[in-house]
Amino acid sequence: MIDFSEIFYRTGEHLILVVIAMVIAMSISLPLGIALTRYQKLAKPILLVANILQTIPSLAIFGFLISIPFIGTGKTPAIIALILYALLPLIRNTYVGIINVDPSLKEAGLGMGMTDWQLLFKVEIPLALGVILSGIRIATVICVGITTIASAVGGGGLGVFIFRGISTVNTDLILAGAIPAALMALGADWLIGWFERQFSQIEGKKQWTKLGLSSIIFVVFLLIGTFFFQSFNTNIGNNSKTIMIGTKDFTEQRILGELLVQQIENNTDIKANLLDLRGTFLCHEALKSGEIDGYVEYTGTAWTAIFEQKPSSDMVKVYDGVKQMYDENFKIKVLSPLGFENTFALVIRKEDAQKYQIKTISDATKYSPQWKAAFGSEFLSREDGFPGLAKTYNMKFKQHPEEMDLGLLYQSLRQKKVDLVVGNSTDGLIPKLKLFVLKDDQKYFPPYQAVPIFKQETLTKYPEIEPAIAPLFNLISAEEMQQLNYQIDEEKKGVKQVVSQFLEGKNLN
């Protein structure tokens, strides 16, 4: 089920990211492009740098930016990345437009006694305006498209639906993000194209007058739109008590994040919002930097991936160790477990398990050299992931495992494109698709208890948060979590609805 109010919100968020980036990019690029026409020796190296920036994959730019401590996650790296991608068409078109003005017209202007400043504004820019607007047009359309990737670093926008749709194999969600983004790009292209046509038909002072009036009208409408968007934005309102809850990029995390949000809002006067992030390390960095106030982590993940400890099967040792290390290193408080574990699960088709009489991971190693495998990116690189698993079980495959989005793993397995995947033990699609989870007979994986973690500063500021969340402690069984996941992934129910019904069933709503 698609929440149309969220589509409206994400569209406004997307638009504002584009507008902010374009305004900053134009304020940098247009003066720079003009300056290059006066200092042409600098044109080649500066355009070369802008060209290089344009060729760097957008995800690489985002990844680099979030690794810089004072930038971190959220809207800041998204806006910076968009500015970098807008530079080339803006600088190049400004430079080329002015430099290609007929030299005889420039000479005539100089012959009439014009200063360089007068020549620029009365001759060169008016004649080059069509080319400059074309650069703005190209840069805007580029920014609208690239903004869909901003959600990968918590920047929001319509990409939230696209990534969510990919991870849950939900075409409706993908379209909910793609269609408004496409319409926005087409609308921006048409609007700026209209400006181009209008200004090409008039000259001189009238052109500047029309440009000025059009710009003022555009800015007024933009400010009005921004005002209404900010009024709708759940982050801003009369309630100054607002916190942000982070989630990773799979269904269970969105459910757990929504559980925290609804439980806090139902029992306090605090407004809680969700921020979609792509994985463990983004959530961790966002929590450290204050971009979010809390999220649900898994003890084994924190133990091995964040604190780089050797995997341990001792549940108490892992929980106590994680609690202590979070407090000592980051002033983050680990609350009580929610009641279930979500461990990594090696999954094969049930028909293969029956055919080869496979029950454990050790059994599977006899056949894995003839199999293809696919894993998520975190599992391929984490200490408690594939490298350690392969060593513990001496597991080999026909070829190096494919890296795949979590939402596509089970479908690829079911369609026999791969023979083994690593998912999560509470995934709702496992029973639905008739898949089989292999037993970790050598107890390689550590315990993965789901635990809410919050910045100590937030809990001190809002002491009512912990009592509000307390009823969730030890409330959810693994079977219940699997059923909740199933309702989202297979029955296509909305997360808010599923969580609300669950809390109501537990007499907490």
| Residue, of 42 and 168, whose pLDDT is higher | 42
Q: Judge whether residue 220 has pLDDT over 80.
A: no
Paired residues of 348 in beta bridges: 436
| Residue, of 36 and 494, whose pLDDT is higher | 36
Give the Cα-Cα-Cα angle 292, 258, 298 (nearest 5 degrees). Answer: 65
Number of neighbouring beta carbons within 10 Å of residue 45: 9
How far is residue 463's CA from residue 80's CA, in Å, rounded to a whole number?
36
- Over residues 344-368, mean pLDDT: 93
Which residues lie closer than 8 Å to 341 by C-beta, 6 or more apart?
Answer: 298, 425, 447, 448, 449, 450, 478
Q: Residue 379's pLDDT band (boundaries 50, 70, 90)?
A: confident
| Count of H-run helices and E-run strands, the chain | 24, 10
User: What's the confidence (pLDDT) of residue 240?
Assistant: 66
How far is residue 347's CA from residue 410's CA, in Å, rounded to a whole number?
9
Q: Residue 40's pLDDT band (boundaries 50, 70, 90)?
A: confident
Give the Cα-Cα-Cα angle 143, 45, 85 (nearest 5 degrees). Answer: 5
Identify whether the C-beta of residue 158 lies closer than 8 Å to the C-beta of residue 180: yes
Identify whether the C-beta of residue 18 lies closer than 8 Å to the C-beta of residue 156: no
User: What's the confidence (pLDDT) of residue 234?
Assistant: 44
Most confident by average pLDDT, 58-67, 186-195, 280-289, 458-467: 458-467
Q: Residue 319's pLDDT band (boundaries 50, 70, 90)?
A: very high
- Over residues 114-135, mean pLDDT: 84
The rounded mean pLDDT for the chain is: 85
In order of their start, the domains of the chain are: 4-232 (1.10.3720.10), 243-341+452-505 (3.40.190.10), 344-437 (3.40.190.120)
Residues of the chain by 3-state class (helix, strand, coil), percent to 5: 65, 10, 25
Q: pLDDT tens-digit profile of 223-268?
A: 555 554 554 454 444 456 889 999 988 889 999 999 999 999 999 9
Q: Judge whether residue 299 has pLDDT over 90.
A: yes
Which residues lie closer than 8 Å to 330 by C-beta, 6 or more apart?
Answer: 287, 288
User: What's the confidence (pLDDT) of residue 259?
Assistant: 96
Q: Judge whether residue 411 has pLDDT over 90.
A: no
Q: Is 163 left (phi over 0), alpha (psi -120 to 50) or beta?
A: alpha
HEC profile of 163-207: HHHHHHCCHHHHHHHHHHHHHHHHHHHHHHHHHHHHHCCCCHHHH
pTM: 0.72
DSSP code, position 419: S
Of residues 365, 343, 377, the one with CA closest to residue 419:
365
499: tokens are 């969580």
390-422: string of b/e by CB count within 10 Å (b at 16+)? eebbebebeeebbebbbbbbbebbbeeebbbbb
3-state secondary structure of 430: helix
- Over residues 130-135, mean pLDDT: 87
Listed range (205-219, 326-340, 367-381) with the worst mean pLDDT: 205-219
Identify whether the C-beta of residue 277 lies closer than 8 Å to the C-beta of residue 283: yes
User: What's the confidence (pLDDT) of residue 237?
Assistant: 43
| Residue, of 106 and 47, whose pLDDT is higher | 47
Which residues lie closer than 8 Å to 128 by C-beta, 6 or more apart?
Answer: 94, 97, 98, 100, 101
Of residues 255, 266, 164, 296, the one with CA closest to residue 483:
255
Identify whether the C-beta of residue 426 lies closer than 8 Å to the C-beta of residue 339: no
User: What's the confidence (pLDDT) of residue 222?
Assistant: 56
* Sheet of strand 373-375, all strands in order from the earlier edge strand to the far edge: 402-403, 373-375, 420-424, 344-349, 435-437
- Over residues 407-420, mean pLDDT: 87
Q: Judge whether residue 322 has pLDDT over 50.
A: yes
| Residue, of 9 and 88, whose pLDDT is higher | 88
Q: Residue 454's pLDDT band (boundaries 50, 70, 90)?
A: very high
β 332-334/402-403 pair status: unpaired
User: What's the confidence (pLDDT) of residue 404?
Assistant: 83
Percent above pLDDT 90 for the chain:
36
Long-range contacts of 109-118 (CB under 8 A, 24+ apart): 116/38
Listed range (122-126, 151-155, 202-206, 422-426) with the worst mean pLDDT: 202-206
- Over residues 52-64, mean pLDDT: 81
User: What's the confidence (pLDDT) of residue 162?
Assistant: 83
- Over residues 388-417, mean pLDDT: 87
User: What's the confidence (pLDDT) of residue 199?
Assistant: 63
Of residues 35, 57, 56, the one with CA closest to residue 46:
35
3-state secondary structure of 88: helix
Q: Residue 168's pLDDT band (boundaries 50, 70, 90)?
A: low
Identify whether the C-beta of residue 255 lies closer than 8 Å to the C-beta of residue 485: yes
Q: Judge whether residue 462 has pLDDT over 70.
A: yes
Query: To the nearest 10°, the Cα dihedral for 74, 288, 256, 245?
Result: -50
**In 412-481, beta strands by DSSP E:** 420-424, 435-437, 450-455
Amino acid at residue number 213: L
Give backbone dihedrals phi and psi of 357, rounded to 5 degrees, phi first: 55, 50
- Over residues 65-86, mean pLDDT: 82
Number of neighbouring beta carbons within 10 Å of residue 102: 10
Amino acid at residue number 19: V
Which sign, positive or negative, has the C-alpha torsion 253, 4, 483, 272? positive
3-state secondary structure of 119: helix
How far is residue 259's CA from residue 502's CA, in Å, rounded to a whole number?
9
Q: Residue 366's pLDDT band (boundaries 50, 70, 90)?
A: very high
Q: Judge whether residue 212 has pLDDT over 70.
A: no
